[in-house]
Homo-oligomer: A and B are copies of this chain.
Amino acid sequence: MTGVERTTWQDVRAEVLHRITSRRWKPDDLIPTEVELAAEFGCARATVNRALRTIAEDGLLERRRKAGTRVARHPVRRATLRIPILRHEIEDLGARYTHRLLRQDRRAPTKAVRARMALAHTADALRLTALHMADGKPYAFEDRWVNVAAVPDIATADLSDMSANEWLVTHAPFSGGDISLAAVSATRTMALRLDVTPGDALFTIERTT
B-side contacts of A207, CB under 8 Å: 79-81
Question: B174 touching A203 by the CB < 8 A rule?
Answer: no
**Is A67 at the interface (CB under 8 A from chain B)?**
no
Interface residues on A, range: 35 or more
B184 lies within 8 A of A191 (CB): no
A residues 182-203 with Cβ under 8 Å of B?
A: 183-203
Q: Which B residues are in CB contact (< 8 Å) with A77? A: 82-83, 165, 168-169, 173-174, 208
A78 within 8 A of B: yes
Rounded to whole angstroms, the CA-CA distance of A171 and B26 in the bound complex is 11
- CB of A146 closer than 8 Å to a CB of B: no
Q: Report how far A190 CA is from B84 CA in the complex, Å.
A: 20
- What's the minimum C-beta distance from A115 to chain B, rounded to whole angstroms? 13
CB-CB under 8 A for A83 and B79, given A141-B190, A172-B21, A195-B138: yes
Instruction: Tell me if A156 is interfacial: C-beta within 8 Å of chain B.
Output: no
Given contacts A81-B81, A207-B79, contact A185 B174 (CB under 8 A): no
Tell yes or no: A36 within 8 A of B by CB.
Answer: no
Contact of A201 with B194 at beta-carbon distance under 8 Å, contacts A21-B172, A79-B83 already known: yes
Give bound CA distance, A60 to B168, whole Å. Answer: 13
Contact of A186 (CB < 8 Å), options: B60, B85, B202, B209? B202
- Contacts of A165 on B, CB cut-off 8 Å? 77
24 CB < 8 A contacts A-B: A21-B172, A21-B173, A74-B85, A74-B169, A75-B169, A77-B169, A77-B173, A78-B81, A102-B193, A131-B194, A138-B193, A138-B194, A138-B196, A141-B193, A141-B194, A185-B194, A185-B196, A186-B200, A187-B203, A188-B201, A190-B201, A191-B200, A194-B201, A201-B201
Name A's B-contacting residues (CB within 8 A). 17, 20-21, 58, 60, 74-85, 88, 102, 129, 131, 138, 141, 143, 165, 168-169, 171-175, 183-204, 206-209
